[in-house]
């Protein structure tokens, strides 16, 4: 068997690349978009991403004193919401594979005066560097589709979640209605890359991000993957007609 046959392959948008190459390419995407990431989120979603994240945190069960792990934390939107919930007795750890995104999240927290009870860790979601059963809640918001080995990441998150804890997976998914799906496709492929080009000068990265949504497991498939990783009572709620879905699971 030659080296090409031995390679394990993954989707980078609509392209097939080796698993090692995808990790490098994803880092490159977020290095490129980090500076205007938050502005682009507002423009692309018409501000809806804020409501989706509020909905996720509302269903997190997080309260004062809890330890929360925010995976693929990016610029810290979910981490910021959680730090207000856990209070002085709790803690939040923000994890991301991209150093520029992690730094942006940390800088935003400092600008808001948040310097206590939060830590920042540069790490791949597939091999989280934490002790087993350490966190009361784990979140990953709009980051799972960028992970090279999704099943490995889910298993890693299960391992560091405490019994009784819950996981929140907030991610773009499959629209529930054909008409909405058609309109969403037209907007995604025709408009979003152009916005990316105008605002960040990087159309290619935003074309990848649109394509990555189409390659991500749909609601039912992701639910099965979470169950296979060990999570129980896994359910999902469609938001904005299934454009986004929140999956919630527990470890007992």
Q: Distance between CA atoms of 105 and 227, rounded to whole angstroms? A: 31
Domain locations along the chain: 38-174+218-250
**Predicted TM-score (pTM) of this structure:** 0.94
Low-confidence ranges of the chain (pLDDT < 70): 1-6
- What's the pLDDT tens digit per position in 175-198? 999 999 999 999 999 999 999 999
Instruction: Assign domain 38-174+218-250 to its CATH architecture.
Output: 3-Layer(aba) Sandwich (3.40)
CA-nearest of 236, 210, 226 to 40 is 210
Contacts of residue 216, defined as CB under 8 A and 6 or more positions apart, other chains included, come to 144, 145, 171, 172, 173, 222
Q: Which pLDDT value is given to residue 7? A: 77
Which helix (DSSP H) or strand (DSSP E) does residue 221 occupy? helix 219-228
CA-nearest of 4, 49, 42, 19 to 143 is 49
């Amino acid at each position: 068997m030659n080296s090409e046959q031995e390679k394990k392959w993954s989707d980078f948008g609509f392209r097939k690349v080796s698993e090692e190459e995808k990790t490098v390419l994803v880092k490159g995407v977020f290095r490129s978009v980090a500076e205007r990431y938050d502005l682009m989120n507002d423009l692309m979603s018409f501000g809806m991403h804020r409501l989706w994240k509020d909905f996720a945190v509302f269903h997190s069960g997080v309260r004062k004193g809890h330890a929360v792990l925010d995976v693929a934390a990016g610029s810290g939107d979910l981490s910021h919401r959680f730090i207000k919930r856990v209070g002085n007795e709790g803690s939040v750890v923000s994890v991301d594979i991209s150093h520029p995104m992690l730094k942006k999240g940390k800088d935003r927290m400092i600008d808001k005066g948040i310097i206590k009870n939060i830590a920042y860790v540069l790490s791949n979601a597939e091999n989280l560097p934490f002790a087993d059963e350490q966190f009361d809640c784990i979140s990953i918001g709009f980051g799972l589709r960028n992970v090279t080995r999704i099943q490995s990441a889910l298993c890693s998150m299960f391992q560091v979640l405490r019994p009784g804890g819950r996981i929140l997976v907030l991610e773009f998914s499959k629209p529930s209605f054909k008409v909405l799906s058609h309109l969403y496709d037209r907007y995604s492929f025709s408009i979003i890359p152009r916005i990316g080009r105008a605002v960040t000068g990087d159309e290619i990265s935003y074309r990848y991000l649109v394509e990555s949504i189409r390659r991500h497991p749909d609601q039912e498939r992701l639910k099965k993957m979470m169950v296979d990783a060990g999570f129980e009572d896994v359910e999902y709620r469609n938001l904005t007609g299934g454009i986004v879905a929140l999956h919630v699971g527990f470890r007992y």
